[in-house]
Amino acid sequence: MTHDDTRGPADGLVGAVPASLPSLLASLDAGAYVVDATGAVVAVNARAEKLLGRPAGDFLGRDAHELLHRSRFGATLPRAQCGMRRAYMAGRTVQSEEEWFERGDGSLLPVSWLVTPCRTDDGVDRTLVLFHTPRDPEETRTPGDRFSSPLPELERLALLAETTTQLTATLDVQQALRRLVRLVVPQLADWAVVDLVTERGRVHRSTVVHAEGGNLVRREALEGPLPPVPEDSLLPLARALRGVSPALAEPSPGLAADCRLGAEQARLFAESGIHSAAVAPIRGVREVLGALTLGRSDRPEAFTSDDLPLLEDICRRAGLALDNARLYERQRTVAETMQRHLLPQLPHVPGLEMTARYLAAPDASQVGGDWYDAFVLSDGATALAVGDVVGHDLDAAAGMAQIRNVLRAYAWAQEEPPSVIVSRLDRSAMHITDVTMATLLFARLDREDDGRWTLTWTNAGHPPPLLVTRDGEARFLTGGHGMLLGTALERPRPDGQAEVPPGATLLFYTDGLIEEPSRSLDDGLELLRTHAATLADHPPARFTDLVLERTRPTGNDDDVALLTVRVPVE
């Protein structure tokens, strides 16, 4: 073979190539090149130059992966996803039916290839790459062309894996839908339409998205409730919403006359310009959750039956993810309802302004062991309580309700100091509740005959209450501190007492407001005191919200309960 038929390395780029290697490459009828241990091309034959439209100088010494290997959309493949590179770096023989090489003019060439290790007569291990194209080179396409054929197996598997990863990483239905449409548009279609079956059996067109200039644009005018699904309609969307297998769809003169649902589909096709569509059911574990419609309007290629298995696989994964997200939302709704019923309505006490807030732990089921309470005692005083049962789940919430109810009963029946009531609660809790350990701050607020307000409290291992005066002085009420509930230690509990100045605010809270792993408890308390002092002139509700907003740690994983009480100015 002459020098014109095969090419060796350029001077200074790669090492010398044995004389037998050019002869080997020239004898092959397929495109061929050889790479060294680093993946750089050391020799190439004339057939490869012709197929790829590149002179030998473009190959030699260049990394073959960076130079040639592309996805079907023209993007450079990540090295970890390149089967050819993994094969020759591992020294294995591997073949693939369809991949894409970039030609010298930027167009893409579909190729089938085989990679095999070879040892030349100089004893150096190299890798031989053979490739041919199943089509004429003139039939190559430019990067970004889509839809011309079903995805190659590797890309199909990669898309399905990404679908599973993206959709199972969220328990929010709307976020899952946004991720779904980003996965299929524009890779598979120009349009994506998601119709969901509501829990009442109605159908709602929840998402209509179009690819425009590299962005996804939502078409809200095409969204909204859909007509009922006829049981006997052969409309592809109706069949999909009844759980029938995927089908192709396209605009037709009789579409609007089929049924009201058909008329809505005709409107979608007319306003979107979709000329070809594929529709598949989104099935959950027990029921059909909806349907996904992919539409093509900007590209002339129509969907074919070969596209349906991939769409069905995507919808199967979407169905499982949406099923989990819906189940989570149902559980969260039940939990939130339970929490609202467990936490009490604040009483109306003449002269007092009271506000309470509860924030669930971000990763919990929206319920927990933090709680507050306020009620009028039999002698006319106002009982105030805030506590924290260990845990933030349904068991903790149930335990919280038990502790609160027992405390209410003891406090109402006994006109005793808070310490006596809490001591009796501690002794009985292990026998009549499921709570093993808890903290509690229990207080009574009395109005004296001369109009002064007095707070008497006992603290069972809980953060101290905060007293904020009208002029912005804030101090913690550290007295009355004793052991938390559940220790089984018979120790007397002390009471603390303080006068509450006119117009002052009392703040009771749980540790989720001040605790954060990155700072000390003292730092958290000081931050709370500082913020509360600057907010003293705000109304109680606003005061509570701002304290919560400014003090609660951003990375907090605990629930928080707050109870704010402001006494009158006079």
Which sequence spans correspond to the domains of the chain? Answer: 6-145, 154-331, 343-566
Q: Could you read off the pLDDT of 158-179 as tens digits, one per residue? A: 777 888 888 877 778 888 888 8
Q: What is the pLDDT of residue 30?
A: 83
- Distance, in Å, from the CA atom of 288 to the CA atom of 294, rounded to the nearest integer, reads 18
Q: What is the pLDDT of residue 134?
A: 65
Which residues, listed in sequence order, are joined to residue 498 by a DSSP beta bridge? 455
Rounded to two decimals, the pTM is: 0.50
Which stretches of the chain drop beneath a pLDDT of 70?
A: 1-21, 23, 73-74, 120-122, 134-150, 154, 256-258, 332-342, 361-368, 391-395, 397, 555-557
Assign domain 6-145 to its CATH architecture.
2-Layer Sandwich (3.30)
Supply 324's token pair.
Answer: 């989990």
Amino acid at 461: G
Helix %, strand %, coil % of the chain (to 5) = 35, 30, 40
Q: How far, rounded to the nearest angstrom, does the alpha carbon of residue 505 sit from its chain's CA centroid?
A: 40
Q: What is the pLDDT of residue 329?
A: 76
In contact, 140 and 103? CB cutoff 8 Å: yes
Q: Same CATH fold, 343-566 and 6-145?
A: no
Q: CA-CA distances (angstroms) from residue 227 to 111, 201, 252, 269, 479?
A: 48, 11, 19, 16, 66
Query: Please, which residues have CB within 8 angstroms of residue 348's CB and are 6 or more apart in sequence?
Result: none
CA angle 103, 106, 111 (to 5 degrees): 40
In contact, 525 and 507? CB cutoff 8 Å: no
Tell me if residue 244 falls in helix, strand or coil.
coil
Assign domain 154-331 to its CATH architecture.
2-Layer Sandwich (3.30)
Paired sense of beta strands 481-482 and 453-460, if any: parallel
Supply 327's token pair.
Answer: 């189940």
Domain 343-566 has CATH 3.60.40.10: yes
Torsion of CA 547, 551, 557, 559, to 10 degrees: -30
Q: Could you read off the pLDDT of 64-73 as tens digits, one per residue? A: 988 888 877 6
Q: What's the chain's length in residues? A: 570
